[in-house]
Amino acid sequence: MEKLVEAIVEIFQKNIKRPILWLVVIVIISISAMTLPYIDHYFFFYDRTIKRVELLEQITALDVEKINKDEQLAKEYNLIIEDIRKQGEANLLGLGAGTLFIPTTKSIQIWKFISGGSLLWLLTLCVPFMNTFKKKSDKIATFFIVLIFGIITGCISYNIPTFYAPMINYLSFPVLIIVILVIALIKSNKKKQ
């Protein structure tokens, strides 16, 4: 893990004065995060449909008379039926029930911001303990640059629409950042050889 962190910091050091590279990285992260709903819609559509059919089979197999005799069961049954009525197949424009996106609350946005920047902030905490810097000023500059990039990725994550399951937002953005950093690390190692 320490070597990965040092390699990432080394990439930051080598490319500190290349704003176009950082702009490209931010654009790639943003575009990748925004395509997640389309991937979900087109690749997981059939799995969702199969689950809906199975649910329909299970509901039709229930004994409604037995359920109606128990007030608590009847209440739960009606809530389930109401949820099924509200849930439709998601559409890409976000229209109607069952959309890919949900309204965002303040707490969801805060968690999206934290998850978007957390990986780089963790990396920021490692910078002071690294011995890869020749000058103290390089260490301080790298610390603040990584911190700022954490804030930028947090803001990007904050502004991405919230998927129907906010956990997708919370997990996908850090994973995307890891993938981009690993790809950059592999490319920089190839250039060294």
The tens digit of pLDDT for each residue in 88-137 reads 544 444 444 445 667 778 888 899 999 989 988 988 888 888 877 788 88
pLDDT of residue 151: 93
Can you tell me the mean pLDDT for 39-62? 75
Residue 183 included in any domain: yes
- Which of 28-32, 70-74, 146-150 shows the highest mean pLDDT? 146-150
Residue 150 included in any domain: yes
Residue 72 included in any domain: no
Give the residue from 84, 76, 88 showing the smallest Cα distance to 56: 84
Query: Which range among 50-54, 99-103, 115-119, 173-177 shows the weakest confidence by mean pLDDT?
Result: 99-103
pLDDT of residue 182: 75
Domain tally, the chain? 1
Residue 53 included in any domain: no
pTM score: 0.51
46, pLDDT greater than 80? no
pLDDT of residue 93: 41
CA 57 to chain centre: 33
Structure tokens at 158: 């904050």
Identity of the residue numbered 161? P
Can you tell me the mean pLDDT for 167-192? 78
pLDDT of residue 28: 81
pLDDT of residue 95: 40
Residue 179 included in any domain: yes
Residue 20 included in any domain: yes
pLDDT of residue 147: 92
Q: Where does the chain have alpha helices with state H?
A: 2-14, 19-43, 45-60, 64-69, 71-86, 106-126, 136-159, 166-192
Cβ atoms 22, 148 nearer than 8 A: no
80, pLDDT greater than 90? no
Q: What is the Cα–Cα distance from 149 to 117, expressed in whole angstroms?
A: 8
Which residues form the domain of 150? 2-34+100-192
- What share of the chain has pLDDT > 90, as a percent? 6
Residue 41 included in any domain: no
Cβ atoms 67, 75 nearer than 8 A: no
Can you tell me the mean pLDDT for 71-75? 85
Residue 57 included in any domain: no
